Structures are given as structure tokens and as C-alpha cells.
């Protein structure tokens, strides 16, 4: 929905989630604290549980790593090995597996991945202000 006219607390939560731009996406673990944060920013975000296919497509198509605070494309496994080699993650498939299974090094992997810059939905957003259950776009999609 954009970042203008957002209450300060909501804006802070979006910054903590690394969602500083419209149409950005991240991976995060669903625990009590993060679900409470998502509940507070629900009118401004869409979220759900990814399947293996969508995780793989996102990382291969739009995956960038954070190396020395710079956005580096994941063109070869060397980038991943340098950043996450100490954690036993040496290739893109290891990274995908760690993200999908929410393994022991999930936090490091998710933080290594730069927030995904997603494209706008085809045909635009139908009902931005309504919840997904009411036929809108915002909130938990649970699929």
C-alpha cells in the first residue's frame, strides 16, 4: 500500500521485517513474536506459507545475497559458500533446503538473502484495503 500515512509503530515493524519498499518479500519463521508483528501490520502486507516450488523459483529468479552490505546476485555457488560456508551451506540447493525446512541456520540464511523485489500483480490489486477473507488482498493467505 505504500509507506505514506502509516502509523509510526506499524512503520517500525515493517522496517524490522526489512519491508522498506512496496512489493518486497522476505522469508521468516512463524513464531509467536513474528505472528504478533504480522497481526499489527496485517492491513499493509500479504503473507502465507510457501511451498518448495515457490521458494526455489524465488531464490533462482530473484535471489540476491548480502555480501559486505551490498546486493550481489546469486549467479554462482561461490557467493553463498563465502558467506555461509562456515554453517555448512555451500550451494543454492543447500540454501533452498535450509529456508524451506526452517533448519538450524534459517536465521543466517534468511538474513543473507536480500529482500526479494517482486513484480506488481497482473491486473493490479483488486481490493487493497480489504482482508483476503473478504475478497481483498491484505492479510494471511494460508495457501
| Mean of the per-residue pLDDT values of the chain | 84
pLDDT at 24: 86
Q: How confident is the model at residue 124 (pLDDT cuts 50, 70, 90)?
A: low
Give CA–CA dist 93/115, Å, rounded: 18
H or E, element range at 140? strand 139-140
pLDDT at 17: 87
pLDDT exceeds cutoff 70 at 34: yes
- Sign of dihedral through CA atoms 52, 87, 62, 137? positive
pLDDT at 9: 92
Output the pTM of the full model.
Answer: 0.79
Beta strands per DSSP E along 2-119: 24-25, 46-47, 64-67, 70-73, 116-117
Q: How confident is the model at residue 32 (pLDDT cuts 50, 70, 90)?
A: very high
Q: Mean pLDDT throughout 63-79? A: 88
Per the DSSP assignment, residues forming a β-bridge with 47 are 140
Helix (H, G, I), strand (E, B) or coil at 124: coil
| DSSP, res 85 | G
Amino acid at each position: 500500500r505504500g509507506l505514506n500515512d502509516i502509523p509510526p509503530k506499524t512503520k517500525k515493524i515493517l522496517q524490522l521485517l526489512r519491508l522498506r519498499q512496496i512489493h518486497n518479500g522476505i522469508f521468516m519463521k512463524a513464531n509467536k513474536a513474528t505472528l504478533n508483528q504480522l497481526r499489527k501490520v496485517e492491513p499493509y502486507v500479504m503473507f502465507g506459507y510457501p511451498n518448495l516450488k515457490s521458494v526455489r523459483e524465488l531464490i533462482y529468479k530473484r535471489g540476491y545475497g548480502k555480501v559486505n552490505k551490498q546486493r550481489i546476485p546469486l549467479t554462482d555457488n561461490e557467493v553463498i559458500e563465502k558467506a555461509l560456508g562456515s554453517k555448512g551451506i555451500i550451494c543454492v540447493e543447500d540454501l533452498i533446503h535450509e529456508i524451506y525446512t526452517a533448519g538450524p541456520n534459517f536465521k543466517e540464511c534468511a538474513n543473507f538473502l536480500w529482500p526479494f523485489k517482486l513484480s506488481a500483480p497482473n491486473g493490479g490489486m483488486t481490493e487493497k484495503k480489504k482482508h483476503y477473507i473478504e475478497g481483498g488482498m491484505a492479510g494471511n493467505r494460508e495457501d
